[in-house]
Structure 1
């Protein structure tokens, strides 16, 4: 009795005879004798071509079968992105694959992992579906990025998102902050020309303008600190303490000018600098306070003497005027009498006469009394 096999329109058959590939079967009904040792593997043409336990190479010599298949061979070091009717379906790693082309159109995009960055022809919309195959690097708006492959410099990166394949090539992105930054020098001990030890608090502001040059400097911030330290020592060491205290504003100008001469070597632009504090030793501070107190006392005494002299001169001028003008002298007497009366609660009169007569007697010129 014959064994009947029916293959539907969305199916194809692969006939094996005694375990060996015999032929490719189109849709239809087939009958096989039980004694023939034939077996038919029915495949769904909407799924990839694969037969368990059989190598694909076994079937690729059949030209009729090859017409209905799209075969792709992915070598080591590459990936292939598989699209079906324009829709992304997945990633193919190294190996050989076959897909039916009977009802759908297959397209493959090859990826060379020796070039880790995603090429522009790959739609960014599929990146979330590639999570196991890619790594994402972000460069913020205020940053600049520098790209390295296997620790070898490639190029500078503008702000944005970059996607790289996970591959044998090591990908590193170093970022640098391009905003204005501040370098603080706190409590720097320096000795003046007259051997007075003091401490300075200094600050300078800068921004990176050449990231590639900056990254070539090992311990960049530490070397910037040393540069600032040496410039301060060069300037302060040539000044005596009194000169330093008098020329505080000029320190910032000198330091900024010196930094401008070095900024190209560091890939930065120095924007400003300033001296925040000069911290003196306790004994020096006491001496300066004593000197300052003596100076202020001398200034106060000078002002007092000046005011006393001016007051005496004013009294002398007033006396001359009253001596030359008896009416003015009389008015001055009345003014003082008014002030005296403001301080008296009661007035007692002895003898006859009115209050006015007694007051006239008090104020009568001495010449008339004589």
Structure 2
């Protein structure tokens, strides 16, 4: 016989020749011949020294234990004194009761939605996060949820979490803000085979996310092609001169053409516009030559108009001089004055009348 003492917070299991006999708690106990005791701390998990089924036949010991069975496809979250402690995966776990208050939250991983009462702050915990799939949808976005490639529902902005399992989960997102599509450097041929480049833009918004993402593949590319074809059709219907005259109408015409097609893509086209119409290579040089020729022709017209006006003025003056001798003499003196301004020196000989000699000099007699 020997006596053992079990302190507070401890438990002892008594064995005799390897067979379990009983459990002893705080206090002094006598052990018989060939009996021994295994001491356990109630704050730690319980690791059975023999098959657990044998120990659980003792109702006293069974009442002192929490046995947690975790099946495949399950998780159990362990809380101690209200605080998260760990995650239990498939297997069997045994805890002592009494000293530490524990709570066990069971989660079914075969589901996709997290319906269990789990604080959001734990989703970033590594032990738990590896069993969770998370998707972010911005406030300016919407998304479609696909479960096993089947449309399930439309998601607004937010964070969505699902259990990680064999079920395939995907989301497809679309930006609901006003967007702009650029068609830059688009080379096109006019009706008269003139090559031009157009920089074109379109502003649009996604209005039907299911139609845009589920009924159409790459709706943005399809919208681009639709705009490109409409632009090509419009430009190809006019000669270069006609197109340059009507370039302000291109955006409006393309806008009207693509509205119906864009609606089928789940998109609302808001407006269209042209940044530049660029003539390429030789065509640019030819147009420059045409412009120079036009300006020269305009300059010649103006010159001829001025010459005609000047001639008409001279004719009118001549008629007046013919009818009025005094006006003729005044005009003659005016020209003499103009000629004299350009002569540096005049020599007069003899004793004749000076005025008469000057008149003869300037009149050429």
TM-score, normalised on structure 2?
Answer: 0.77
Tell me, which stretches of 5 or more residues in structure 2 are unaligned?
A: none
Match of 2:172 among 171, 174, 196: 174
| Other-structure match for 1:310 | 309
Q: What per-residue deviation string (whole Å, max 9, x for no partner) do you get for residues 66-97 of structure 1?
A: 44334433322221221111111111212333
SS in 2 for 1:258: helix
Match of 2:122 among 118, 122, 126: 126
| Other-structure match for 2:269 | 270
Counterpart contact for 1:204–1:270, Cα < 8 Å:
no
Q: How many equivalent pairs are there?
A: 353
In structure 1, C-alpha distance between the alignment counterparts of 2:12 and 2:54, rounded to whole Å: 15
In structure 1, C-alpha distance between the alignment counterparts of 2:336 and 2:147, rounded to whole Å: 102
Q: 1:10, CA displacement in angstroms?
A: 0.6
Task: Indicate how the Cα distance of structure 1 residues 8 and 245 shifts in structure 2: closer, same or farther if over 3 A, else same.
Answer: same
Task: Indicate how the Cα distance of structure 1 residues 319 and 33 shifts in structure 2: closer, same or farther if over 3 A, else same.
Answer: farther
Counterpart contact for 1:70–1:106, Cα < 8 Å:
no
Q: 1:329, CA displacement in angstroms?
A: 8.6
| Other-structure match for 1:253 | 252
Task: Indicate how the Cα distance of structure 1 residues 190 and 144 shifts in structure 2: closer, same or farther if over 3 A, else same.
Answer: farther
Structure 1 segment 207-246 matched on structure 2, within 5 A:
207-216=205-214, 217-246=216-245
Task: Indicate how the Cα distance of structure 1 residues 350 and 93 shifts in structure 2: closer, same or farther if over 3 A, else same.
Answer: same
| Other-structure match for 1:48 | 45
TM-score, normalised on structure 1?
Answer: 0.76
SS in 2 for 1:34: coil
Structure 1 segment 66-85 matched on structure 2, within 5 A:
66-85=62-81
Q: 1:362, CA displacement in angstroms?
A: 6.4
Counterpart contact for 1:207–1:271, Cα < 8 Å:
yes
Structure 1 segment 187-202 matched on structure 2, within 5 A:
187-190=186-189, 192=191, 194=192, 196=193, 198-202=195-199
86-95 or 325-334, which deviates more: 325-334
Q: 1:280, CA displacement in angstroms?
A: 5.5
| 2:82 pairs with 1:86 | yes
Q: 1:168, CA displacement in angstroms?
A: 2.6
In structure 2, C-alpha distance between the alignment counterparts of 1:263 and 1:44, rounded to whole Å: 72
| Other-structure match for 2:105 | 109
Task: Indicate how the Cα distance of structure 1 residues 121 and 358 shifts in structure 2: closer, same or farther if over 3 A, else same.
Answer: farther
Task: Indicate how the Cα distance of structure 1 residues 304 and 66 shifts in structure 2: closer, same or farther if over 3 A, else same.
Answer: farther
